[in-house]
Amino acid sequence: MSEPTPNSTIDPDDTIKILVASDIHLGYNEKDVIRGEDSFIAFEEVLQHALENDVDAIILGGDLFHIANPSTNTLNRCSRLLKTYLLGDKPIKLEFLSDQNENFLESLNKTVNYEDPNMNIAIPMFSIHGNHDDPSGFGRISSLDLLSTNGYVNYFGKWTDLTKINISPILLKKGETKMALYGLSYISDARLARLFNEAKVFLEKPEDTDWFNVMVVHQNRADRGPKNYLPEKSLPAFLDLVIWGHEHDCRIIPEENPNKKFYVSQPGSTVATSLAEGEALDKCCGILSIHKSLFRLDPIRLQTVRPFIFESVNMAEYFDELGLDEGDVQQKMQNFAAERIEDMIKRAKEKLTGNEKQPKVPLIRLRLEITDVEQQFNAIRFGQQYSGRVANPQDMIVFKKKITKAKDELKPLDKDALLEAYQNQREATTNRAEEVVDRYFKEADEDKQLELLCSKSMSELTKRMVDYEDDDAADCIIKFYERQVMNHLEGQAVNEDNIDEVLEGFRSKERDTYNDMLKMLDSRNQKGPLATDTTRSNAHDSDEDNDDKPKANSTSIFVPPATTAGTGRGGKGSRGGRGSRSTAASNSTGRGRGRGRGASNSSSSKIDSFLTHTTKPVVSSRASSRNISKVVYISDEGDDE
């Protein structure tokens, strides 16, 4: 990494400036009287920062919406915000150089929205989908498809064929700076791992070596077990920056991968969708500035986020002090909790920013690690006294059972004991509806067992209805099994005596039937292959606290920005009037519309130095679309071949 370039050599006309954010979760808890506005307030602040900093574009890392089929209220609120902040007469200085038919295959006009003569875009927004707003239900349409059809969002990184992934980048240019933008919308981690293992993931790379390569992904980043996350080492070394969505902990300061040497920025969520420790970190968006092969990212702390204080207390440390082995233990615990809650409410006031739109009533989560069930009290009844002072009085306190043993009592566990301990822990921590259903039918008495459907099918049905709000799933699954059973019974001599034996033959094909059912669900109303994977990862949305989540890196590796003058609109590369279109051969110098407007002088948008990021060599090649002639194969270990 070379020394930062002096700001005197940085030409704003050669600098691409982008606002980066992720996991907006519009519509989360929208029916809650207290917290229903939180997601919309935070998103509006993000859009305001984009406008104030005069950015060239906005990039979102997925989960713009909290559910795949958002309510009409959420869609309306989102459309109003996008129309207010993204439309206008500002000329666009980004030239679009790649094949738009490949980049926006699923869009109505198959073109970037600011080159659509029917749209008047001032700030283009580019977004992939996440696991919450992925295509699902009838027609396999994502909520982002609707915004793309309306022309508000450039929806990229959507896959209609998950038998292989070939990512063609969006190529953008401003002056002397060229950026290649890759998008990988959410795919279940297990399926993505399988595609890597089968060598079916490709990234097309521009022929020239002077492109700054940015990739946007929405997967598990933290190691949650084999095939349950996307290892950074799986990504190719030629990338310069990875914008990582899905994880809600804010780690927006870019962190260098020691092996591949690219940087990873994890913006985190803009609203707390669970009461986990990582959600209590400051919420941020950021201004990404790219100048040729150099970049910097300036975090912006959001001022309208509801204060959230998280605290975990191991009651074993207070056992003797509180005398928890005698007297009214529950009352002693309640007195202790009340004292802690009052202190947390006081600390929450320190997070108030003075912004008039910031919600004032805080979120509080006190986790008490207890050693005896007698220490547990009614947390819901206890929380009622904090109604109006705390935004979540009913789930303000949670208990975590922690059993401690003396050293002489500890004994090595055999394999069966370890397996049993793991299963007990998994059952104790899971709260997903489909897992509850699956566990119920697996453990149910023999007279309550399913005779035709397998438990996995029932859990899939539950997940589709609860997570995806897919009202057609139950009807489709039941009718599918009806057809399969009838096909199995045809041609066989069935009577009352042998019906159980014949059906046992059907149940023996349980795995094949289940896989066929998944294919049926995913291919509904589609002419092509599988639209997207249906398995969701809700690790960051569970109310269970993830102690293993990586914490924010507070070390800054950037030189503080200096104050420089803003720049006006127009000039080389700016967008012209309606119908004008930039090409690879020339800059668009058409007539700009509306009044000229200088850029914001906000210190967070100033650029004086960047980090050097060296472009890596290409290993393999293949002819492709215009401006792209290299294809890099990614193996399961992330090596280029």
DSSP string, 497-513: TTHHHHHHHHHTTHHHH
pLDDT for residue 281:
94
Contact (Cβ atoms closer than 8 angstroms) between residue 308 and residue 270? no
Residue 486 or residue 257, greater confidence: 257
pLDDT for residue 521:
73
pLDDT for residue 140:
73
Q: What is the mean pLDDT of the chain?
A: 77
Q: Which of 214, 276, 215 is nearest to 249 (CA)?
A: 276
The stretch 508-526 carries a mean pLDDT of 70
pLDDT for residue 156:
92
pLDDT for residue 262:
96
List, for residues 390-409, the tens digit of each pLDDT value: 999 999 999 998 655 444 44
Residue 134 or residue 169, greater confidence: 169
List, for residues 200-257, the tens digit of each pLDDT value: 889 999 888 899 999 999 999 988 887 888 999 999 999 999 999 999 999 999 999 9
State how far the Cα of 463 lies from the Cα of 518, in Å rounded to an integer. 12
pLDDT greater than 50 at residue 388: yes
The stretch 253-279 carries a mean pLDDT of 95
Between the two ends of the chain, the Cα-to-Cα distance in Å is 25
Radius of gyration of the chain (CA): 27
Q: How far is CA 390 from CA 75, 113, 306, 346, 348, in A?
A: 29, 43, 11, 11, 10
pLDDT for residue 628:
56
Confidence of residue 197 (pLDDT cuts 50, 70, 90): confident
Contact (Cβ atoms closer than 8 angstroms) between residue 578 and residue 117? yes
Confidence of residue 418 (pLDDT cuts 50, 70, 90): low
Q: Which of 46, 126, 124, 59 is nearest to 91 (CA)?
A: 124
List, for residues 580-593, the tens digit of each pLDDT value: 444 333 344 333 33
pLDDT for residue 641:
39
Highest-pLDDT range among 364-378, 390-404, 470-484: 364-378
State how far the Cα of 212 lies from the Cα of 239, in Å rounded to an integer. 8
88 torsion bin: left (phi>0), alpha (psi -120 to 50), beta (else)? left
pLDDT for residue 387:
94
Residue 588 or residue 10, greater confidence: 10
Confidence of residue 110 (pLDDT cuts 50, 70, 90): confident
pLDDT for residue 461:
78
pLDDT for residue 415:
52
pLDDT greater than 90 at residue 511: no
pLDDT greater than 60 at residue 578: no
pTM greater than the 0.85 cutoff: no
The stretch 132-153 carries a mean pLDDT of 84
Q: Which residues on adjacent β-strands are paired with residue 154?
A: 126
pLDDT for residue 406:
45
Q: Which residues on adjacent β-strands are paired with residue 264?
A: 242, 255
List, for residues 301-332, the tens digit of each pLDDT value: 999 999 999 999 999 999 989 998 888 999 99
Contact (Cβ atoms closer than 8 angstroms) between residue 186 and residue 218? yes
Token pair for 577:
């009037």
Catalytic status, residue 132: yes
pLDDT greater than 50 at residue 56: yes
Q: How far is CA 173 from CA 148, 177, 409, 599, in A?
A: 22, 6, 67, 19
- Domains, in order of start, for the chain: 12-301 (3.60.21.10), 308-401 (3.30.110.110), 414-492 (no CATH)
Point out the catalytic residue in the list 49, 66, 129, 132: 132
Token pair for 386:
């904090």
